[in-house]
Structure 1
């Protein structure tokens, strides 16, 4: 089983984007060096659908971001979006649109204003597999506000120096 290892600052940026765009779904990617499986550059994108139940990358922005990744020898390591009224689990539409077999699909639920659910999945040929999330460069307190998946073992903390 895979594991999504993500820096706390990137995760916090994704969650902030999801909360900021609520009640519409937020979407974006986290790029990383080709073949590294290390998400390193957060790229929030516009949901051109401007919908509470669906997201769609703006086609011109999508083209520009993918070209930029190509120029930088990067690939989309994480593709993320939010669900504003349901749990953080891929919908049938999400599954049918998943076209990056190597990507982690991170979902953030903003349905509850008090608790943010964050879950990561691999989606390959229509098969959804949940994977653990490992948050690095964070104190345990910094990620206590998130609910990660269904299992209590899906989060691994690495603390910043001094925490």
Structure 2
């Protein structure tokens, strides 16, 4: 189960809407070993695409060095889908390299509807998990 503060959910959704029609992406880091998302880190979609996202390799290297220095891990890795449901694509699954991370997807296909879902992706297997939003 993903337990996440309301303000972090709002930040992810706002980032997804702001970058629409391109996919948005980012990370929420948390203390190593805690499974507690704390630090919101929006990233640039280097692909600048409405159907695909890609972290810039330099930005990603900088992020991992920063997390290492702070004893943090990527608790949540998020991105948006602009025209489809919030469910991992084959490409998303192929990029999922953090077995302990929560993979959050937000769909911006319907501006008035919030579609926010979380998944575990391990060895190519997608498992949806409940989300508890903490006020």
Q: Same fold (TM over 0.5)?
A: yes
1:115 counterpart residue number: 113
* Displacement after TM superposition at 1:113 (Å): 1.1
Structure with bigger RCO (C-alpha 8 Å, 6+ apart): 2
**Aligned counterparts, 1:72-87, within 5 A:** 72-87=70-85
Q: State TM-score, norm by structure 1.
A: 0.82
Q: Which runs of 4+ in 1 moved over 2 A?
A: none
Query: Which string of whole-angstrom CA distances, capped at 9 and with x for unpartnered residues, describes residues 68-89 of structure 1?
Result: 0000000000000000000000
Determine the structure 2 residue equivalent to 1:10.
8
Give the aligned partner of residue 101 of structure 2.
Answer: 103
- 1:6-155 alignment, distance < 5 Å: 6-137=4-135
State the aligned residue count: 135
Decide which structure has the larger Cα Rg and report it. 1
Kindly report the root-mean-square deviation, in angstroms, between the aligned alpha carbons of the 2 structures: 0.4
Cα deviations by residue, 1:107-128 (Å, 9 ceiling, x for unpaired):
0000001102000000000000
Superposition deviation, residue 101 in structure 1:
0.3
**5+ long unaligned stretches in structure 2:** none
Q: CA deviation at 1:30?
A: 0.2
